[in-house]
Structure 1
Amino acid sequence: MTLSLFLHRTVFMTSQVSRRWRPRSLLQLVLLAFLVVMLPIAVLMFQAGQALSELSNLADVSARQAVEQTRRARALSNLAIEMERSARQYAVVEQPGLMEIYAEKAQEFAELLESQQRLLPDNPNIKALREQIQTLITFPSLPVDELSLRLDEFASFAEHTDAMRTATSRQIDNRIEAISVQAAEVQRRLWLQTAALVSASLVLMLLFTWLIIRPIRQIERRILSLGSGREPASAQLIQGPAELVSLGERIDWLSVRLAELEAQKQQFLRHMSHELKTPLASVREGTGLLSDNVAGALTPRQREIVELIDASGQELQQLIEQLLDYNLLQHGQPAYYERFDVSGVIQEVLSKHQLALDKKEMRVIASQRPLEWVSDRDRTARILDNLVSNAIAYGEDGGRLEIRVYREAQALVLEVANSGEPIDDNDRSRLFEAFYQGRARRKGALKGSGIGLSVAADCALAQQGHLALVDDDALAVCFRLTLPWNGDSVIENDNRQSHSVPTLGTDARN
């Protein structure tokens, strides 16, 4: 009851204090925590000191009293012996000085017996001794013959004196035992107080730890939400010391600033795609008209230049689409799963790059065996498109391009490998970072954007898949795409409103 009542009062007082006064700084909160946690320990030390002081005083007084009472009992025994000796000698030699000594001893015995009675007030031996000493005091006034006849009374007097001394020793032993019992009780009480106060200190430590950790955890969750891009609609108010509250306000400011920058980036990408696609469409349309001989027949040299302009426009269109794809992936557009033929997607992508492959004189070996799979068709095609484009850009002129497809347990494995210069070991760790361009030089008139492989890796991750650079015994560069079976997600997609990712091969002239 005492411990629960103490803890209840502690929690109540702490809540009242926290309502009326909150630490303005982290330093104040830490100092307050140390003071409050040390308070029960200080109370324990004070109570232990008082209990030890009380026991020490009691033991000191008891020891002094025991010594005094033991000496008095011994003195009474000695006086009884001397009184008997003096009386018997007087009865023999009849010397008056012996009775004077006897009278002095008897008077001293009576005084000491009065003091001893306060120690043993109800002891029958002391009562008997008091009656006998009143009789023995009168012996000096008796004739010698009568005194000699009453000397036998000293035997009973000696017995009662020895019994009184034994009772005194027993009383002292009982007092020492009582002190031992009291010391054990004090020790037990100190252990209970120690357990209660240490528990209270632990509870207070946990309370102040929570008061310090709670705003830090709130800030941590806020930072994680900012980093993941899933910012809650209403940010939780940071409660705690002024430093952490100020830090939370700065995080709020940073969140607003990041949202503004993100909006500016989105606006820039929208404007860029529109502004770039408009003149690009005119260029592509003009080259198409020239290729169709609308403006007249072209000489072989002119047709070569028109084809070069059209290929460059197509490559520029691909770069714009990669930027838009990267932007869509960064905003976590959900995957749309459907059943499709993997070999059909491969042929579709290869037909798109056929002119570039012919120009580079690359020999293509691709799997044409039908293989149905359930995944995001558009994202899978985008991954394959980026890998083939990468092989054309960095592959060897007149080299070889292989596309392999096979099943491995419950996963689809698609490998795109090409001959040429191997990727440097220093570039492997950053190969899928956005806008990172390695040491290898891109072949062609245009420089790459450095986001093709990043888009491919993000498309794989959106389908719970994985894209990695692996070693191949036959070819220098080999990328391996692993996609899980997503057949269970087809029903879920059918129940949702249909929304598709923009088609990979949208012509800029549209």
Structure 2
Amino acid sequence: MTSAASRRWRPRSLLQLVLLAFVVVMLPLGVLMYQAGQALSEWSRLAEVSARQAVVETRRARTLSSLAVEIERGARQYAVVQQQSLLDIYDERLEEFRQLLTQQRLLLVDEEHVVALEKLLDDLATLPKLDAEAYEKALGWFEPFSKNVEGMRKATNLRIDERLDDIRERAIQVQRRLWWQTAALVTSSLLLMLLFTRLITRPVRQLERRILGIGTGRAGQEDGKVKRVQGPAELVVLGERLDWLTMRLEELEAQKQQFLRHMSHELKTPLASVREGTALLSDGVVGELTEQQHEVLRLLDASGGELQRLIEQLLDYNLIQHSRNAEIERLDMATVVSEVLAKHRLALQSKEMRVEAFPGPLNWFADHQATARVLDNLISNAIAYGEDGGELVIRAKALHDRLELEVANSGDPIAKQDRPHLFEAFYQGQAKRKGALKGSGIGLSVAADCARLQGGALALVDDSDLAVCFRLTLPANEGSKAAQQSRQLQQSRHEPASSGKDARNLTL
């Protein structure tokens, strides 16, 4: 059933969310394109109008200059030839000049040259009415007239330049405004992209954490409660399917636990009776036995012990899989090795294997049970797969940040195709196990889990002398470092540097 949290508004499908994200992210960019188009259109229109006005006003100023020259030329020609037609042309050009000057004044408001020209035009309009002597004197008016026309032309050019500068400044302002709008809208688009990316990837990450957490037994749980997936409907449904899968796995895990408990009980109880019976027969409770009968009893007892070890391995595997907490304490690793070797004394004697172990004491902080289990499995494998009459070497090297324990034996090397799968549960390699019973394939898996339980690692390494060598690496904590420094100090004061000759050589 969909939870209340997942019933909040959301796109009905992932496709709808993607399309909505695309539209919303593109919206600021669309606004930016529209505003940029509007600004460009406005600037283009303003530039076009200004350019047209500049052309018209420049042409008008040039026409006024030409008319001024014609008016002066006509007036001076009349003074020479005294023809009435020249005065008529003079009046026409003067009136045309006045009209053009009126239009030019719209550009040059309160311009002194324009005001002066207007006054001179009034004076020049009276020129045809003057007598000959006054006319000759009035021709001197054309000198200031020409200067003011030239000043008007320069003022026109200056006003056009000012207008162009104003247009240029407005263009810069428009450009600056567009840059700010671009920065703001692109930032908005990026933020929206991040928002929708989070909306899309958050449920995916929730599903990923749920999947990764299924194997830990806390798939998607926070404070003991399952956190529902929120997002598009498809991902919500997938989250619910994962919830169902988690419940099924929990049920299967519970069934497995129940099966292992029942199996261990059902197997160990009759096995204990069988071993007790063989012990009674060996003690002669029912009478003396022949040597052949003793041999059969020894075989039965050995097989029973092997079967008990396999059952214990299954229980150990089940215990490690449920993340038992490590109980770190200070240990003498040499003592732990001796304890484990004592358990296999009879098997080592039967195989006639020579055992070489490192000297003690070597103090380190570790989990006693987990470390002993690692050594037990490695020594058992060495006995099961090593050669008869071969060697078993156990070495130790305490470094600044770690302890390295190596268990090596002679015999056939492990095949290359088996090495990547050595620590997988229930994997059976190509090497043949020596003995009546076949292994379960979980010994090395249990050993590797015990190493990881302490923050260490178990690996197969190459050895120059022996065919098979496993290395257990245990990290150092503050206690381990202090113990190591103390041990090194004692060795430097009282003992020479240890060498391979200091190792204990045992023939079992």
Bin for the TM-score computed over the shorter chain: 0.7 to 0.9
Q: 1:91 to 1:415 in 2, by over 3 A?
A: closer
1:307 aligns with 2:295: no
2:328 maps to which residue? 337
> Which residue does 1:394 correspond to in 2?
385
Query: In the alignment, which of 45, 50, 72 is matched to residue 57 of structure 1?
Result: 45
Q: State the partner residue of 1:35.
A: 23
Cα separation, 1, equivalents of 2:478 and 2:226: 38
Tell me whether 1:257 sits opposite 2:248 in the alignment: yes
Kept after mapping to 2: 8 A contact 1:420/1:477: yes
Distance 1:262 1:118 in 2: 97
Q: Tell me, in whole angstroms, the C-alpha distance in 1 between the residues paired with 2:354 and 2:173.
A: 98
- Code of the aligned partner of 2:184: A
Q: What is the correspondence of 1:263-342 to structure 2 with a 5 Å cutoff?
A: 263-342=254-333
104, 119, 129: which is aligned to 1:116? 104
Greater shift after overlay, 418-427 or 334-343? 334-343
Distance (whole Å) between structure 2 residues aligned to residue 382 and residue 103 of structure 1: 128
Q: For 1:130, give the aligned amino acid.
A: E
SS in 2 for 1:479: strand
Tell me how far apart the structure 2 counterparts of residues 388 and 302 of structure 1 sit (CA, whole Å).
Answer: 30
Rounded to whole Å, the distance in 2 between the matches of 1:87 and 1:373 is: 126
Work out whether residues 465 and 482 of structure 1, in 8 Å CA contact, stay in contact via their aligned partners in 2: yes
Deviation of residue 460 (structure 1)? 2.2
Q: How far apart are the structure 2 equivalents of 1:320 and 1:120?
A: 112
SS at match of 1:246: helix
Instruction: Provide closer, same or farther for how the CA distance between residues 367 and 129 of structure 1 changes in structure 2, counting only shifts above 3 A.
Output: closer
CA contact (8 A) 1:375 1:487 kept: no
TM-superposed CA distance for 1:483, in Å, is 3.5
- 8 Å contact kept, 2:408–2:466: yes
Q: What's the offset of the Cα at 1:406?
A: 5.5
In the alignment, structure 2 segments of 5+ residues that lack a partner are: 1-6, 481-508
Q: Give how far 1:411 is off.
A: 4.7
Aligned residue in 2 for 1:475: 466
Q: Work out the CA distance in 2 between the residues paired with 1:414 and 1:117.
A: 106
**Equivalent residue number for residue 104 of structure 1:** 92
Structure 2: how far apart are the matches of 1:125 and 1:374?
A: 106
Find the counterpart in structure 1 of residue 499 from structure 2: none
Q: 2:79 corresponds to which letter in structure 1?
A: A
TM-score normalised by structure 2 residue count: 0.85
- Confirm or deny: 8 A CA contact 1:291 1:306 kept in the other structure: yes
| Partner SS for 2:38 | helix
* Residue of structure 1 in register with 2:4 after alignment: none
Q: Distance in 2 between matches of 1:485 and 1:147?
A: 123
1:135 is aligned to 123
Tell me the residue number matched to 1:506.
none
Equivalent residue, structure 2, for 1:380: 371
Q: Distance in 2 between matches of 1:97 and 1:271?
A: 139
Change (3 A) 1:70 1:359: closer
Identity of aligned residues (%): 65
- Which has the larger displacement, 392-401 or 464-473? 464-473
Distance 2:454 2:32 in 1: 63
| Structure 2 counterpart of 1:387, one-letter code | L
The 2-side partners of 1:81 and 1:409 are apart by: 107
Which residue is 1:449 aligned to? 440
Matched residue type, 1:33: A
Q: Is the 8 A contact 2:335 2:360 kept in 1?
A: no
Could you tell me which runs of 5 or more consecutive residues in structure 1 were left unpaired when the two chains were aligned. Answer: 1-18, 490-510
Taking structure 1 as reference, are residues 165 and 285 closer, same or farther at Cα in structure 2, changes over 3 Å only? Answer: same
The alignment partner of 2:472 has SS state of strand
What's the CA shift for 1:359?
Answer: 3.1
**How many angstroms does 1:31 deviate by?**
1.9
Cα displacement (A) at 1:391: 1.8
Q: Deviation digits for residues 162-213 of structure 1, max 9, x if unmatched?
A: 2222222222222112111211221221122122222222222222222222
Instruction: Give, in whole Å, the separation in 2 of the partners of 1:416 and 1:131.
Output: 122
Assess, with a 3 A threshold, how the Cα gap between structure 1 residues 176 and 323 changes in structure 2: closer, same or farther. same
Quick check: 219-228 or 438-447, which moved more?
219-228
Aligned to 1:502: none
Q: Which amino acid aligns with 1:74?
A: R
SS at match of 2:106: helix
SS of residue in 2 equivalent to 1:152 = helix
Among candidates 70, 78, 82, match of residue 82 of structure 1? 70
Q: 1:281 to 1:89 in 2, by over 3 A?
A: same
Please name the residue that 1:184 is paired with. Answer: 172
Do residues 125 (structure 1) and 113 (structure 2) align? yes
User: How far apart are 1:90 and its partner, in Å?
Assistant: 1.9
Structure 1 448/131 Cα, relative in aligned 2: closer, same or farther at 3 Å?
same
What is the CA deviation profile of residues 403-442 of structure 1, one whole-angstrom value per residue up to 9, with x for unaligned ones?
4455455654443333322222222222222111111111
Q: CA deviation at 1:149?
A: 3.9
Cα 1:160/1:268, change in 2 over 3 Å: same
Shift of 1:126: 2.3
Residues 20/383 of structure 1: CA separation in 2 closer, same or farther (3 Å cut)? closer
Distance 1:326 1:188, change over 3 A: same
Alignment root-mean-square deviation, CA = 2.5
- Displacement of 1:397 in angstroms is 2.4
Deviation of the 1:367 alpha carbon: 5.2
What secondary structure, in the 3-state scheme, does the structure 2 residue paired with 1:295 have? Answer: coil
1:7 maps to what in 2?
Answer: none
Letter in 1 for 2:429: G
In structure 2, distance between residues paired with 1:332 and 1:215 = 29
Q: Which amino acid aligns with 2:62?
A: R
Paired with 2:26 and 2:57, the residues of 1 have a C-alpha distance of 46
The CA distance in 1 between the partners of 2:354 and 2:189, in whole Å, is 78
